[in-house]
Amino acid sequence: MNEEIKLIADQIKKKIGGIKPEIALILGSGLGGLADMIENPVVIPYSEIEGLPRSTVSGHAGRMVIGKLGGKDVLCLQGRVHLYEGHAPSKIALLVRTLKEVGAKTLFLTNAAGSLRKDLPPGSLMLISDHINYAGLNPLIGPNDENIGPRFPDMSQAYSPELRAKVIEAAEKEGVSLKEGIYIMTSGPNFETPAEINMFARLGADAVGMSTVPETLVGVHCGMKVVGVSVITNYGAGMTAGALTHGETIEQADKAAKKLERVIARFIAEK
Ligand code: HPA
Domain ranges of the chain: 3-270
Centre of ligand 1 to C-alpha 137, Å, is 18
Among protein residues, the one with the nearest Cα to ligand 1's atom 9 is 113
- The CATH architecture of the domain made up of 3-270 is 3-Layer(aba) Sandwich (3.40)
Q: How confident is the model at residue 104 (pLDDT cuts 50, 70, 90)?
A: very high
Show Cβ contacts of residue 139 under 8 Å, excluding neighbours closer than 6 positions: 89, 90, 92, 93, 214, 217, 218
Cα-flanking dihedrals φ and ψ of residue 78, to 5°?
-95, 100
So what's the pLDDT on residue 131? 98
Q: How confident is the model at residue 47 (pLDDT cuts 50, 70, 90)?
A: confident
Output the furthest CA–CA distance in the chain (Å, rounded): 53
Percent of the chain scoring above 70 in pLDDT: 92
Mean pLDDT for the stretch of residues 205-213: 97
Residue 217 has pLDDT above 80, yes or no: yes
Question: Which helix (H) or strand (E) element contains residue 112?
Answer: strand 106-115
Centre of ligand 1 to C-alpha 33, Å, is 20
Give which of 231, 217, 182, 187 is closest to 202, Cα–Cα.
Answer: 182
Query: What is the pTM (predicted TM-score) of this model?
Result: 0.94
Residue 242 has pLDDT above 90, yes or no: no
Say how many Å lie between the first and final Cα of the chain, rounded: 32
Mean pLDDT of the chain: 91
* Cβ(211) – ligand 1 distance below 6 Å: no
Mean pLDDT for the stretch of residues 202-216: 97
- Condensed to tens digits (0 to 9), the pLDDT of residues 137-181 reads 999 999 999 999 999 999 999 999 999 999 999 999 999 999 999
* Cβ(114) – ligand 1 distance below 6 Å: yes
